[in-house]
């Protein structure tokens, strides 16, 4: 059995066990395999193990990988779902709109407008999460918590987009209670938006190091990379 397959099985087991311990249904939590810095062969290995959703942070690398993987799988291969989870420059929105099914990192109305305008009519609406700077870190991307509601209303009104929920990358900590507290803040924002009438269903939160805390606090998508593919070599631009 390949290492990637073993890792996927281990992560899936953790997701199932944590969801059950939290009184949640295991299939309420989706695993997004973050394949940034790993080549198409690693993605294909994960596909062979049953994984179907993949996240990319770097635009050109991601687009090249999507094309290489699709070519390798052929028309008869399984349908994959590609999520863009990296920072978005306004001059890079078109290839994101053309190649990805989900975008987790919208933090400005201008970016959402460009994604809406540039989404090909032949494709389903682009699924959108707003990135929230839940810990208030100066170095982190994301809309401030107090500005989420206004941005959500604007994004939800745009054509060719479907606003699904919120995403956050809290300040790293090994303390489980602190991890939970940060994710609970995001969940509270999410609950407020739903109470205000927005039809949201997605909390994209939790990575390899804080996966369990995120699930306990209601994550519906967890973004896991190194625990699946191994340690990364950060030599990509």
pLDDT score at 234: 64
Enumerate the β-bridge partners of residue 31.
222
pLDDT tens digits, 199-210? 999 999 999 999
Q: What span, in angstroms and rounded, lies between the C-alpha atoms of 81 and 152? A: 23
- Judge contact between 198 and 179, C-beta under 8 A: no
Q: How much of the chain exceeds pLDDT 70, in percent?
A: 98
Compute CA 119 distance to the chain's CA centroid, rounded to the nearest angstrom. 19
The answer to whether 130 and 155 have CB atoms below 8 angstroms apart is yes
Q: Is 102 helix (H, G, I), strand (E, B) or coil?
A: strand
Tell me the C-alpha to C-alpha distance, in Å, between residue 218 and each of 37, 40, 44, 194. 28, 31, 30, 14
Taking a C-beta distance cutoff of 8 angstroms, is the pair 222, 209 a contact?
no
Tokens of 209: 């190091």
Please give the domain boundaries of the chain with CATH numbers for all domains: 3-229 (3.20.20.10)
Secondary structure class of 218 (helix, strand, coil) = coil
Per the prediction, the chain carries an average pLDDT of 96
Cβ(225)–Cβ(35) below 8 Å: yes
Is the CB of residue 157 less than 8 Å from the CB of residue 112?
A: no
The pLDDT of residue 148 is 98
The model's pTM: 0.96
- Average pLDDT for residues 75-80, to the nearest whole number? 94
Residue 237: pLDDT band with limits 50, 70, 90: very low
- Which residues, including other chains, have CB under 8 Å from residue 30's CB and lie 6 or more apart? 53, 220, 221, 222
Q: How high is the pLDDT of residue 236?
A: 47
Q: How many CB atoms lie within 10 A of CB 50?
A: 11
């Amino acid at each position: 059995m390949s290492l990637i397959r073993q890792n996927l099985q281990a992560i899936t087991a953790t997701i199932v066990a944590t969801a059950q311990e939290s009184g949640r249904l295991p299939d309420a939590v989706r695993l997004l395999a973050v394949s940034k810095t790993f080549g198409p062969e690693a993605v294909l290995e994960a596909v062979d193990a049953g994984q179907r959703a993949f996240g990319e942070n770097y635009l050109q690398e991601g687009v090249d990988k999507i094309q290489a993987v699709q070519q390798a799988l052929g028309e008869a291969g399984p349908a994959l779902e590609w999520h863009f989870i990296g920072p978005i420059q306004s001059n890079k929105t078109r290839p994101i709109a053309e190649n990805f099914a989900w975008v987790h990192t919208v933090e400005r109305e201008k970016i959402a407008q460009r994604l809406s305008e540039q989404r090909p009519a032949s494709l389903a609406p682009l699924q959108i999460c707003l990135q929230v700077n839940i810990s208030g870190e100066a170095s982190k991307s994301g809309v401030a918590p107090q500005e989420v509601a206004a941005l959500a209303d604007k994004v939800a009104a745009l054509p060719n987009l479907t606003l699904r929920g919120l995403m956050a990358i809290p300040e790293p900590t090994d303390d489980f209670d602190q991890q939970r507290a940060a994710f609970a803040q995001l969940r509270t924002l999410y609950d407020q938006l739903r109470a205000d009438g927005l039809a949201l269903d997605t909390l994209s939160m939790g990575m390899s190091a804080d996966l369990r805390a995120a699930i306990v606090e209601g994550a519906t998508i967890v973004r896991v990379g190194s625990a699946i593919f191994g340690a990364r070599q950060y030599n990509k631009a």
